[in-house]
A and B are shown apart, each in its own frame.
Chain A
Amino acid sequence: MKRIYSVLVENRSGVLSKVVGLFSRRNYNIDSLAVGETDNKDTSCITIVSTGDQRTIEQIEKQLNKKIDVIKVKTFREHESVCRELMLVKVKYNKSNRRDIMENCEIMKAQIVDMSKTHMIIQVCDTPERTNLFLKMLQGISVAEVARTGTLALQKCE
């Protein structure tokens, strides 16, 4: 089962390593990880996507809560949240595939943010699912490099 953990932590050095270390030590999966400051410079938000059985899912939340630097843990399912991921893809293009790439970008509302005579960088910001789909479509053409932020998520407004 997939869960998203939104972990609010004290913005101090070493805290990220403590949280990530907990996952590796207890043999929990990390499918994706994203970190950043919140509106308050004293706190950071770590968004972790993980999979496991019911007991593991519960344990992850409890173990996270035990960490003294952790302020709050919210656990939610994908459909209970708004999830986004930012991806940058560098592709090699030529006359024959240029049209295809442009069409794909149009369909997925992706933007071309940098370009040379041989390469271009495409930016897409979408749900993790659609981001994957877009990457799959480009892989059929020509992908040189990929960088992704990992899933960012907030619980839906009530």
Chain B
Amino acid sequence: MNGADVLIKCLEKENVEVIFGYPGVAICPFFDSITNSPIQSILIRTEQNAAHAANGYARTTGKVGVCVATSGPGATNLITGIATAFADSIPLVCITGQVDSELLGSDVFQEADITGAVESFVKYSYLVRDAEELPRIMKEAFYIANSGRRGPVLIDIPIDIQNQQVSRFKYPEEVHLRTYKPTVKGNTVQIHKVIKELEKAKKPIICVGGGIMLSNAKESFMEFVEKYRLPVVSTMMGISVMPTEHPLYFGMVGNNGKPCANRAMNESDVLVMVGARVADRAVSQPDLITRNKILIHIDVDPAEIGKNAISTIPLVGDAGHIFEDLYKEEYTGNHEAWIRDLQEYRKTMLVHRKVNPAYVDPAALIRLLSIKMEENGIYVADVGQNQMWSCAYHIVKKGRFLTSGGMGTMGYSIPAAMGAKVGNPDRQVVAVCGDGAFQMSMMELATMVQHGIDVKIVIFNNGYLGMVRQYQHFTYKDNYSAVDLTGNPDLRHIAAAYGIPFYRLSNMEDAEETLNAFLREEGLVLMECMIDPMDLA
């Protein structure tokens, strides 16, 4: 048994069912060994997408996503995907091959100091020096990635370590990390204080972030807000914690958020931020959320509390545990008048869009698509105007909304949708992207054809990098620079080249029929929607 066999055995012990990877000489022992394992190996077409696919898989299964790449360029190609996962606290284990230990540091062929390069966006990293240490390292890596504040862990394994003979395999039962003990249970005194403040509040609001999803706390959170009747808004990462049409949910906050959600947050007297970083896109002026109001900040990472806004009541812990504990408290608060106000805001504070009937109206299309999607469907938005429209108009029922919120990585949707589908073969998965992002990850169409992965891809084609064009429209007085996508391929031919069905929607006239046919397709399918190049998100 060699180091690579040990590595595979460890993955099996961690119940890993699938890895997303790309081989190269320095990781070949691993790919040799995996053929003797029930673990499925999916060959992606560029390494960045291996990390995004593992990301989509992790977010929709609650398990750790695993991606594998070779040394040098393979490893460096992973970096954007790792940084994307780090920004959104997604648990990944990234395995990279490395040149022979003896040659480390001598700049040989395909050598890159990957542990050094990713230091600022991994939760932890290992450079393995002895195959005998692999079981301990793997056990720790999976534990670190998927506990406390989740995040990516990288394991760099020189080829000689993968080939090293190991006498016997024993997987540790538990980890012994004296320096890593995340606080998951909330402090009872603080929990009591939170309840007291909420009871006194006239206009409380809860703002949820991605942390609720990461700690699998959606149900305990819903039970809590429904029991105490507390209104909720969300950050972009918190979309799909609550169904869009839930009477207590008032939408996404921030520069691109719903007016009623922003008003709810501004007018509130007690604001509870949960599993949210108070970053600039959700809260552009952190001072405003502390002025004239009590800020209660709940997060599993103590460093997030007080980083961007000083909270009145800090509460460190895992959202799952905290909402279970909060649920058990006695509560006398009544906020019905405030909820009625908010419901009024929701009805009256509408955004009026100018619609050009010669094109597809992305807002109407997304609404229609959401209505037609299966109840528990997974909707993956890319980055750019399509993302803003998706956040504003996608109607979440019981499903999931995914996007790259923190890093805003273009090209995320297709590989992430692919990972989500692999993890949830019984759920419908739809990716929505622009023509810019599509061209950043369209090579994965081949992966999905090869492995029979059924993702429905909607492409908003406006011939522009729309979000930047829009920014140049407002900020640079229409001085458009490097945003014109002239040269786009004919997507019908792209679909034909991959042998997959294709639909093109020019305006809203046939939208319903086309969407029905598109969603009825079995297997991978593309739908191109022609969008007014001058449309604004």
Contact = CB atoms under 8 A, between A and B. Distances in A.
A25 to B, nearest CB: 5
B119 A18 contact: yes
B439 to A, nearest CB: 32
B306 interface: yes
B195 interface: no
B179 A58 contact: no
A21 interface: yes
Contact of B301 (A66, A68, A71): A66
A69 B119 contact: no
B303 A70 contact: no
B116 A58 contact: no
In this complex, which of A25, A62, A68 has the most chain B Cβ atoms within 10 angstroms of its Cβ?
A68
B178 A71 contact: yes
B33 interface: no
Contacts of B123: 68
A68 B310 contact: no
Contacts of A17: 116, 119
Nearest to B144: A68
A140 interface: no
A25 B120 contact: yes
Nearest to B304: A62
Given A68-B124, A68-B144, A59 B119 contact: no
B497 interface: no
B307 interface: yes
A65 B120 contact: no
A68 B127 CA distance: 15
Contact of A65 (B115, B302, B306, B307): B302
Interface string B124-137: 10010000000000
B303 A55 contact: no
A69 B303 contact: no
A144 B119 CA distance: 39
Interface in B118-164: 119-120, 123-124, 127, 144
A71 B180 CA distance: 8
A111 interface: no
A55 B306 contact: yes
Given A21-B119, A55-B310, A68 B177 contact: yes
Interface in B162-179: 177-179
B306 to A, nearest CB: 6
Nearest to B180: A68
Interface string B92-128: 0000000000000000000000011001100110010
Given A17-B119, A59-B306, 16 more contacts: A10-B179, A14-B115, A14-B116, A21-B120, A25-B120, A55-B306, A55-B310, A58-B306, A59-B303, A62-B307, A63-B303, A65-B303, A68-B123, A68-B177, A68-B179, A69-B179
A100 B115 CA distance: 53
A64 B177 CA distance: 16
23 contacts: A14-B116, A17-B116, A17-B119, A21-B120, A25-B120, A55-B306, A55-B307, A55-B310, A58-B306, A59-B303, A62-B303, A62-B307, A65-B302, A65-B303, A66-B301, A66-B303, A68-B123, A68-B124, A68-B144, A68-B177, A68-B179, A69-B179, A71-B179
Interface string A85-125: 00000000000000000000000000000000000000000
In this complex, which of B115, B180, B303, B310 has the most chain A Cβ atoms within 10 angstroms of its Cβ?
B303
B533 to A, nearest CB: 39
Task: Identify whether the interface residues of A are mostly helix, strand, loop, or mixed.
Answer: helix
Interface of B: 115-116, 119-120, 123-124, 127, 144, 177-180, 301-303, 306-307, 310
Contacts of B306: 55, 58-59, 62
Contacts of A55: 306-307, 310
Contacts of A71: 178-179
In this complex, which of B115, B179, B310 has the most chain A Cβ atoms within 10 angstroms of its Cβ?
B179
A14 B128 CA distance: 13
A62 to B, nearest CB: 4
B155 to A, nearest CB: 14
B322 to A, nearest CB: 19
Contacts of A62: 302-303, 306-307
Interface string A16-34: 0110010001000000000
Nearest to B305: A62
Contacts of B302: 62, 65
Nearest to A72: B179
Nearest to B115: A14
A17 B119 CA distance: 9
In this complex, which of A21, A66, A69 has the most chain B Cβ atoms within 10 angstroms of its Cβ?
A66
B343 to A, nearest CB: 37
A58 B180 CA distance: 19
Contacts of B177: 68
A19 to B, nearest CB: 11
Contacts of A70: 179
Contacts of B116: 14, 17
A14 B178 CA distance: 18
Contacts of B307: 55, 59, 62
Interface in A1-56: 10, 14, 17-18, 21, 25, 55
A69 B127 CA distance: 14
Contacts of B144: 68
Nearest to A22: B120
Nearest to B148: A66
A62 B177 CA distance: 18
Contacts of B180: 68
Nearest to B182: A66
A92 B127 CA distance: 48
A63 to B, nearest CB: 5
User: Which 7 A-B pairs have CB atoms at the shortest separation, nearest pair first?
Assistant: A62-B303, A68-B124, A25-B120, A71-B179, A68-B180, A63-B303, A66-B303
A130 B357 CA distance: 78
